[in-house]
Amino acid sequence: MERQFIAHTSSGEELYFKSLKGIERLSEPYEFEVELLSKNRLSDPISLHNTVLTVEIKTPSKQTRYLSGYIEKISYSPFYKYDDRLYLYTATVRPKLSELKKKSGYSIWQEKTVPEIVTTVLQGANVNFEDNLIENYRPWEYCVKYNETDFDFIHRLMAHEGIYYYFKHENGNHTMVLVDMPQMHYPMPGYDTIKYFSVGSIFRKLDQEYIYTWNISSSTIPNSFSTDDYDFRKPRAKLQSLTQTSLSSVDSTEIFMWPGRFIKGDQGQFYVRILQQASEAQSELINGTGNVLGMAPGHTFTLSLPNSIKGDDYNDYLITGAQYSFYESDYGSVFECDSDDDDSDDDKPDKNIVQFEAIPSNVHWKPQAITLWPKATGVETAVVTGPKNKPIWTDKYGRIKVKFRWDKTDKKDDTSSCWIRVATRWAGWRYGSINVPRVGEEVVISFVNGDPDKPFVIGSTYNNENMPPWELPKHETRSGVMSNTKNGKHDQANYLFMDDEPDKELFDLHAERDMNISVEKDKTVKIDGKRTTEIKKEQTDTVTGKANFTYKDNRDTAVNGKDTLTIDKGQQRTIKKGRNTEIDGGDTYKLTGNLTAKIDGNWTQNITGTTLINSPNLITIKSDTNVIVDCPTSIFSAKACSIDFKGYGISSTGMQQSNTGVINSITGFSNSITTFSMNYTVVNLSTVGCDISDKDLEISKKTMAIAQSSIRLLNSALHMFT
């Protein structure tokens, strides 16, 4: 007798099919419980683990169908024989995809689309699959598998993007088929059309496959669907998307998804459409039962109704789930054992049953988001990373990259994570505070809305490699901030700290190199004690307005080099209690303009060297009383001399005068001369009242004229040569 169900194993064990119960659904891994019989007890049943079991099904339509998968569990009783003849083994069969449930952990994906991520995960697990996707999918800037299995990871991503799958079975193999559109579903070979007969119908025949129960359930669904998100790079952008369905009968109902996990408006429209389609796919569900062995999820069929039944205008359906109950006939004849004909199932109708779920094939089926996104609770720490030889790695937003503690890869560079924003005490438009964490520092990470895809640096912390800037607890009263020169040593730093040690309170500010202080209006500095300023190089002070300096006590200024003072608009000094100036090395004045000095007291100059007054113009010495020139020897030399005296008295002892072209007009002149010698070529002397008294007077002349009213010369020795 030809068997309808045949078991094939990759292990080579000779096993016979007894029964199969199982379920298959779209976007779910199937599970079959297969009972197997063996003539002999298996020496090592556990060796069946992870081997392929395929059930070959010979259908009445003459099409051969297969159900194949990996044995994940084997159950048996080593001391019990089924029907006292055969050993019974029960195998739990699941797809290769189920192995992804046994691999959990963390991983980071950057700039990858969901199909690319799914492909990499499936290939890494040696899962056979076909990519029948039609939609265009956007790359995810940053996507994290966070403390979850690979299975949950790809399922939540696929549900979010509207990707689902079903399985194709072959002898010894099965293939996972990825789809996202209704047109990518096709009928099972030989099952384009499936007939319906009601229970008890006289048209039902034992050698035919048909559906005999058909139930429709209709559910209300929300009226509208919306989603929204936020992108800090476009903080004012309106990203909210909204859509409504015509299949809802409940007004004012809405499903709102936040965060929508997108950063562009068109992406929001895509995701809100996925929400709508997933809900609409649940609005009308068909549940049926039949003996159609070729019914399988992911395939379509056309329902054929008897003429006596009027159905819907649309009769094409997509199978979304199937539950199998298959049994093989008695094996008595196979093992040459007597069989009770009364127990035979050959004449029993519908011993092999398929219960199925379906929707109209023109409906966009989308998976429900039943796999929750992981939540990152609390905070964690990470190490700042960057390219080789880059101690600081940031972008225009002050973001950094890190290596998480759970990251098992060897990456410790600028590819170890996405750009992560850094929280600060204050952030405004071109104002606030900022401290960019540097490569190698340990930072504290939190997550926006608990989303592992949105890490956020909320602070930094010290560890045994990165110790505090001041020794603790020695300086436990010290608070402040210390930076560090890029690629510099520890002591190359700018710092500011406050020390609250009692009686030693201190505010310390240090610039490693330059310091700029800018005050746009006023600055007031009050120092109750002393101030000491040491400038080891140059100092430049520029005051645009007035400058007032008040020293209420003594001021000492020492200039070891040259002192230069340039004043553009005059200078005024007031010294109330005298001035003492001492100059070593000479003093030179250059004056452009007039010099006026007013001295209310005496003026005394003691000059040990020569005094020279040189002017191309008139020199005037004026006194309301007397002008006295007291010197051992007086030499007066003039190219032209004009002297006007009103009352003139000269007392000379030893006088020598040489004049060329001298005109003297003297009114009131008295000269007392002792030894007078005058030599002249031409002298005109006109006198009115002239009294010359001399002891030794010698006048040698060729022509001499003295005209004067009154002249008196008193000299001990007078020599005049003209």
Compute the half-sphere exposure of residue 585: CA atoms within 13 Å on the CB side of its CA: 1
Q: In what order do the strands lie in the sheet with 506-510?
A: 478-482, 495-499, 506-510
Q: At 676, list the tokens.
A: 């007078």
The 3-state secondary structure of 253-286 reads: CEEEECCCCCCCHHHHHHHHHHHHHHHHCCCEEE
The structure tokens 């449930």 sit at 101
Query: How much is the pLDDT for 718?
Result: 46
Q: Which amino acid is at 351?
A: K
Residue ranges of the chain with pLDDT lower than 50? 337-347, 701, 707-722
Contacts of 344 (CB under 8 A, 6+ apart): 329, 330
Distance of CA 398 to the CA centre of its chain: 4
Query: How much is the pLDDT for 654?
Result: 61
The pLDDT tens digits for 618-666 are 888 888 888 787 777 767 677 766 666 666 666 666 666 666 665 666 6
CB count in 10 Å sphere of residue 710? 15
The structure tokens 């900022």 sit at 434
Query: How much is the pLDDT for 303?
Result: 94
The pLDDT tens digits for 341-368 are 444 444 455 689 999 999 999 999 999 9
Query: How much is the pLDDT for 342?
Result: 46
Contact 284, 217 (CB under 8 A): yes
Q: State the Cα–Cα distance between residues 370 and 351, nearest whole angstrom.
A: 34
Query: How much is the pLDDT for 387?
Result: 96
How many angstroms separate the Cα of 167 from the Cα of each of 135, 177, 188?
A: 20, 6, 12
The 3-state secondary structure of 479-540 reads: EEEECCCCCCCCCCCCEEEEECCCCCCEEEEECCCCCCCCCCCCCCCCCCCCCCCCCCCCCC
Give the N- to C-terminal CA distance of the chain in Å, as an integer. 173
Contact 506, 499 (CB under 8 A): yes
Q: Please name which of 5, 115, 116 lies closest in space to residue 59, comparing C-alpha atoms.
A: 5
CB count in 10 Å sphere of residue 386? 20
How many angstroms separate the Cα of 18 from the Cα of each of 60, 91, 217, 230?
A: 19, 11, 34, 57
Q: Please name which of 7, 65, 63, 60 lies closest in space to residue 34, comparing C-alpha atoms.
A: 7
Contacts of 228 (CB under 8 A, 6+ apart): 239, 240, 241, 256, 257, 258, 259, 260, 268
Domains assigned to the chain: 5-98 (2.30.110.50), 100-181 (3.55.50.10), 221-281 (4.10.220.110), 380-461 (2.40.50.230), 478-510 (no CATH), 641-721 (no CATH)
Q: In what order do the strands lie in the sheet with 718-721?
A: 655-658, 718-721, 676-687, 697-708
Alpha-carbon torsion (518, 521, 526, 532), positive or negative: positive
Q: At 534, list the tokens.
A: 């040491």
Contact 445, 457 (CB under 8 A): yes
CB count in 10 Å sphere of residue 295? 25
